[in-house]
Structure 1
Amino acid sequence: MKCQRLIESGKTLHAVWFPVLQLPVRYPMEGKSMPLPVLLKDVAEAIGGLNEELHACINRRTGEVVVISDEESWLAENGGIDDESLPAWQRDILPKVKEVLESEDFVALPDQFEFDEYRLMQRFSLEQEDPGTQEELLDSIRGRGAFRRFKNRVYEMGIEKAWFAYRDQALEQFAADFLRREGIPFVEE
């Protein structure tokens, strides 16, 4: 499966470069690869940092992880590489983006919709020993704004370390399952 299939979107593009939360993955402008086997934590963090406008692909042969915005994908596919009106840094990364989109070596990492964080919040809530804590957390994930309310409530209750450890563990398991399915070797540390 080419990475391109999951990156194409047709959504409105924003003229902004998103640096992706300082994740320890390799970006197109760096032109470096993570050697195989890849570090599971790096792939899990890359998946955890994706959103509707950011997508990531991993090279099956080298382990290189490339994060691409919708804008960069669109520009690479529509001749933006030669567009002199673009900033130099953006023109510099577009050949790598084009390579990712056209290469069979790159496979798209699962996006934020494939990693069901809502169900994860629900499971975390149900696993709390205190019935009052369970109830408050479950109430926080009902209706619109559930993610923000849940995270606010976790901080208010002082259980944010437990939540983030739980989330990180689930992300690592999710990433490990993906890497196994794709036949990409990885190490845990």
Structure 2
Amino acid sequence: MEVKLEQIIEGMEAQSEEHFTFLNLDTGEVEYISREALMIAEDEGEYDHLPDWQQDEVKIAYDIVENFDQYASLPSRFDINEYEMMESFCYSLPENNKQVILLNSIRGKGAFRRFKDNVNRLGISEQWYDYRDNRYKEIAIEFCESKNIDYKE
């Protein structure tokens, strides 16, 4: 099986506190599952009263719960650590006013919003998104290699 890195990256970006992504190690498909669907499957709950689309999701969640060794959980937001990514980007800039502004913007409450506002204001948003995309790609590659998954770009 060979997986496209783009699918892994999209799955990593789609995760939240309410939605998880898993890679089916047999098919190479990335599965998007809500916390609710996983809870139903873990509790072996009934789901035929749900809309068709949600029943399909719960069926996949049941498969994940019952065949956990056939799935790999994609790196989560905690594994990715976007704050560290922003800080690392700041230090990748030449030591000048932009670096100082961005480093100051990531301190304290509201750091993510301030950072993105300042990246846009300083005209380096494309540079930031390229940096971020490359970092996500590195994490996706590390994930694939750690699971012995063949990948293509």
Instruction: Please say which of residues 158-167 and 92-101 is displaced more in the overlay.
Output: 92-101
SS of the residue 1:89 aligns to: helix
Identity over aligned pairs, percent: 36
Could you give the per-residue CA deviations for residues 53-86 of structure 1, whole angstroms, max 9, x where no partner exists? Answer: 211111222211101111111122331323x2x2
1:164 equivalent to 2:153? Answer no
1:141 alignment counterpart: 106
1:60 alignment counterpart: 25
1:113 equivalent to 2:60? Answer no
Q: Aligned AA for 1:95?
A: K
Unmatched 5+ residue regions in structure 1?
1-35
Could you give the per-residue CA deviations for residues 124-154 of structure 1, whole angstroms, max 9, x where no partner exists? Answer: 1111125100011001100011111111111
Instruction: Please say which of residues 165-174 and 94-103 is displaced more in the overlay.
Output: 94-103
1:95 equivalent to 2:59? Answer yes
Higher helix proportion: 2
Q: Aligned AA for 1:127?
A: S
Distance 2:74 2:92 in 1: 29
Distance 1:59 1:169 in 2: 24
Distance 2:148 2:46 in 1: 34
Q: Aligned AA for 1:164?
A: Y
* Residues paired across the two proteins, number: 151
SS of the residue 2:61 aligns to: helix
Shift, 1:120, TM fit: 1.0
Instruction: Give TM-score, length-normalised by structure 1.
Output: 0.75
